[in-house]
Structure 1
Amino acid sequence: MEEFIDARGLACPQPVILTKKALEQQDELRVRVDNIAAVENVKRLAKSQGCQVTVQEEKDRTWTLSLIREEGVEASPDSPEIVCDVAVQTEGEPLVSGPCVILITSNAMGQGDDELGRLLFRGFFHTLQELDKLPDKIIFYNSGVKLTVKDSDVLEDIKQLAQAGVEILVCGTCVNFFNLTDQIAVGTISNMYDIAGSMRSAGLLIRP
């Protein structure tokens, strides 16, 4: 029997958590949510579980996602990877096990003058591309999500990093808070479930 989850009004990442638990018991599922961030997050989770997903926008500005897991349906290429990291040490470098994750928590780098902080971030993201080893993931949250919008001074640098294989996660709750849903131009709108998991599994966390 198809299960129905009413996730309207639930804070991130509750819609994802409820969907994940239900998929452990059900092969067919409908989920009702009330914001675009939740739609994208549930879609990503469903595809990672090998489910086909259809989305129906309702008249009351909510969305119903229908999830069906069928035998032979492969997981999306964008599915979260299961990575077994092996500690590797090269001469002159510290022993680090796990991915390198950079946390961007503001739209200005450091504390003090905001104009200077924005200038520093322009140099930071440009310099990242020149490093021998790129970070594995960059997570943008709080006002840091403003760096991923269409008119951001560092947008092109972040896009270059994404094209080079760096995973870009953008906090969905923060995007909704700042009303930036239609302006995000790079990365994946994510949720606290994924963000907390990325921090937990990181071998190195950097907050510039």
Structure 2
Amino acid sequence: MIIEVDARGLACPKPVINTKKELEKLEEGVVITTVDNNIAKENILKLAKSLNCESMVIKEEENLISIEIKKGENVIIEKKEESDLEDKCIYISSDKMGLGNDELGQVLIKGFIYTLTETKPYPKQILLVNGGVKLSAENEATIENLKILEEAGVEILSCGTCLDYYGLKENLQVGTVTNMYTIVESMKNSANTITI
């Protein structure tokens, strides 16, 4: 069975949610989702991977990208070594830490990210939303330390809508672009979510 999803023109996270709904209807088969931008494409490919489905881009032209997702048997599940990771998610919504003086808040958030690199176990994920995406795109000190965490297996996820809003989509230096669906699922599935 083949199901086609036209997700062109839909705002994040609708392409992912619409694709997931169609995949849930299938025991075995193919979903082909068409989107009109690279962020949506990457989010669909990440969804497929998270659901242990095979996926590939079958057509890519300007403003027209089709992704084929196969659901069924014979899917190889890739497992990461997570011995130094704890089932925690850190949600950061600002490039500052705490309320009060902004300059002090920027110093504190740099110190926080650095301290994460010095304490184990590391969290499984760091979610960056709103002004928090500046930490993965603009702030050299935090980018350097986020790279250390990423190399150790921590998933660094920056909200694509937020990157677009701040004009930072092309400046992302560490981690990957994500969507609201993945952010919500990450928070729900984590044993503990820490909000900064």
Indicate the TM-score class for this superposition, using the shorter chain for normalisation. 0.7 to 0.9
Q: What is the DSSP-based 3-state SS (H/G/I as helix, E as strand, rest coil) of the residue aligned with 1:157? A: helix
- Counterparts of 2:15 and 2:78 in 1: how far apart (Å)? 20
Following superposition of structure 1 onto structure 2, how do residues 18-97 of structure 1 map, counting pairs within 5 Å? 18-24=18-24, 25=26, 27-48=29-50, 49-59=52-62, 61-69=63-71, 71-75=73-77
1:4 equivalent to 2:4? Answer: yes
- Residues 32-88 of structure 1 deviation map (CA, whole Å, 9 limit, x = unaligned): 1123221111011223332131153323x232223344653424558xx9xxxxxxx
Unmatched segments (≥5 aa) in structure 2: none
Higher strand share: 2
Q: What is the DSSP-based 3-state SS (H/G/I as helix, E as strand, rest coil) of the residue aligned with 1:74? A: coil
- Counterparts of 1:100 and 1:47 in 2: how far apart (Å)? 20
Q: 1:200 to 1:63 in 2, by over 3 A?
A: same
Q: What is the DSSP-based 3-state SS (H/G/I as helix, E as strand, rest coil) of the residue aligned with 1:118? A: helix
Unmatched segments (≥5 aa) in structure 1: 82-97
- Counterparts of 1:68 and 1:201 in 2: how far apart (Å)? 24
1:111 equivalent to 2:99? Answer: yes
Task: Report the TM-score, using the length of structure 1 for normalisation.
Answer: 0.79
Equivalent residues of 1:53, 1:65 under 8 A apart: yes
Equivalent residues of 2:53, 2:69 under 8 A apart: no
- Residues 144-193 of structure 1 deviation map (CA, whole Å, 9 limit, x = unaligned): 01111165331010111111222212112212222322221212222212
Which amino acid counterpart does residue 2 of structure 1 have in structure 2? I
Q: Tell me the CA shift for residue 5 of structure 1.
A: 1.0
Identity of aligned residues (%): 42
Q: 1:43 to 1:76 in 2, by over 3 A?
A: farther
Q: Tell me the CA shift for residue 23 of structure 1.
A: 2.0
1:202 equivalent to 2:190? Answer: yes
- Counterparts of 1:167 and 1:102 in 2: how far apart (Å)? 10
Q: 1:110 to 1:171 in 2, by over 3 A?
A: same
- Counterparts of 2:186 and 2:71 in 1: how far apart (Å)? 26
User: Which consecutive aligned stretches of 4+ in structure 1 deviate over 6 angstroms post-superposition?
Assistant: none
Q: What is the DSSP-based 3-state SS (H/G/I as helix, E as strand, rest coil) of the residue aligned with 1:135? A: strand
Structure ID, larger Rg: 1
Q: What is the DSSP-based 3-state SS (H/G/I as helix, E as strand, rest coil) of the residue aligned with 2:174? A: coil
- Counterparts of 2:79 and 2:173 in 1: how far apart (Å)? 20
Q: 1:10 to 1:130 in 2, by over 3 A?
A: same
- Counterparts of 2:64 and 2:168 in 1: how far apart (Å)? 18
- Counterparts of 2:144 and 2:170 in 1: how far apart (Å)? 18
